[in-house]
Amino acid sequence: MPAAWRTWRGWIPSAVFAALVCVFSGCDSAPSYPPTLEFPQRSDRLVLRVPTAQPANLGEAGRLDAELGALDSLGGLTLDPATVSAERRTTIAQFLESFGSPASPVVPHEAAERLGLTADRLAEGSRLFRRLCLQCHGLSGDGRGPTGQWIYPHPRDFRRGAFKFVSTGDGGKPKQSDLARTIREGLKGAGMPAFTSRSEEERGVLAAFVTYLSIRGQLEFQLLASAEDEDDADIKAFARDRLDRLMMDWTRAESVPEVAAPDVPDDETRQSPEHLAKVRRGFELFMAKGITDCATCHEDFGRKNSFRYDVWGTVVRPADLTTGSFKGGNRSEDLFHRIRGGIQPVGMPAHPTLTDAQVWDLVWFVRALPYPRELPDDVRKQVYP
């Protein structure tokens, strides 16, 4: 037997043992949260009303709480949960216990199953959320994960119950498929990555868990915000009523029919007189004051900086439509939903009175906007003087 083998063979069992210990001590691909872990009580400010004055600048990464703290002095209204009485907060916390824990999330409502928010799916979603989303979106979906301080725009706070890129109309909750699509595609220009490498089932359970965090978080928001208005004795009945309404909103969203998008015209069709006429009509609608008022916010087609507050109290700017990159997706049906239903959390109005044909004209105009040669001559001269 070679001398080297005689020398080293004694190490083999130790090396194997050490390797096994290493494997079992930390290499679980998606561990659950500790079973005793509870959701923290909300301690950050609630934004009840944003200032009406236009902000001067965009915000900065890592300064979310400082920016929200300054809203009161700018004409907004915020609420520090610490100012709510301890008894009220305890009552709210006791009610929220019915939502389970991060390891065992539950939606305590009969409509939960219809929405696919079953305990199994939520538990699976919770494990994936911890692995993939916690670092930015935080334990309770507050957008304050440890990596979130380096991201701008700030990671989304799900607890407001507001979502920007929905297909369900003005101010509506998203469908589960809307959330899954955002998870799959990511958000261009933001720190939200595209999770195309995850399976459809995984994205589905993640969407379900995000829905759970939103329901729980929004309920907590409403209970804290109404603390001055409701008596302790009524708070639980109030909470049940609010939960019923939330579940009704989420259920209603699922029943909104899908939009049938026409085929995207090819290069040749986009130069045809018929298509250019649609683009021209879209331009005229875009500029029409009192009808769409698109140009009021998207000044100079979005090229001009124009800031405003969103419902979360952070600063946003209307999209620069000449870049061709849209956070909510570049598909025709994405643009259709943005125009038809608006983006309520940032103040983009819905346009329910426009016909479908009018909305599609706007869609073709917005799609053509980044490409001067796809605009009619007269329109091009006004967009790119």
Instruction: Write down the least CB distance from residue 2 to other proteins, Å.
Output: 12
- CA quadruple 345, 138, 94, 85: dihedral sign: negative
Interface with other proteins, residue 103, by CB under 8 A: no
Q: Residues 2, 6, 29, 290: which binds other proteins (CB under 8 A)?
A: 29
| Residue 299 CB neighbour total at 10 angstroms | 13
CA distance 339 to 333: 10
Measured in whole angstroms, the distance separating CA 24 from the mean position of its chain's CA atoms is 36
Counting every residue written for the chain, the total comes to: 385
Residues 148-167, one symbol each (x = binds other proteins by CB under 8 A, - = not), give -xxxx---------------
- Are 126 and 33 a contacting pair, CB within 8 Å? yes
Tell me the three state secondary structure of residue 3: helix
Interface with other proteins, residue 144, by CB under 8 A: yes
Segment 192-231, which members bind other proteins (CB under 8 A)?
193-198
Query: How many residues sit close enough to other proteins to count as binding (CB under 8 A)?
Result: 45
- Are 308 and 59 a contacting pair, CB within 8 Å? no
Instruction: Write down the least CB distance from residue 130 to other proteins, Å.
Output: 8
CA distance 154 to 191: 8
**CA nearest 178: which of 141, 147, 217, 204?**
204
Q: Residues 20, 40, 244, 264: which binds other proteins (CB under 8 A)?
A: 40
Stretch that binds other proteins, among 113-121, 139-147, 243-251, 363-371 (CB under 8 A): 139-147
Q: Residues 69, 108, 116, 145: which binds other proteins (CB under 8 A)?
A: 145
Angle between helices 119-132 and 200-225 (to 10 degrees): 90
Stretch that binds other proteins, among 25-33, 110-118, 158-166, 244-252 (CB under 8 A): 25-33
Interface with other proteins, residue 239, by CB under 8 A: no
Segment 320-359, which members bind other proteins (CB under 8 A)?
none
Interface with other proteins, residue 189, by CB under 8 A: no
Closest to other proteins by CB, 31 vs 75, is: 31
Measured in whole angstroms, the distance separating CA 193 from the mean position of its chain's CA atoms is 13
CA distance 142 to 111: 24
Q: Residues 12, 16, 21, 277: which binds other proteins (CB under 8 A)?
A: 21
Query: DSSP label at 79?
Result: E
Question: Tokens representing 317?
Answer: 């700017």
Instruction: Write down the least CB distance from residue 76 to other proteins, Å.
Output: 24
Binding site for other proteins (CB under 8 A): 18, 21-22, 24-26, 28-31, 33-34, 36-41, 58, 60-62, 102, 131-132, 134-136, 138-139, 144-147, 149-152, 191, 193-198
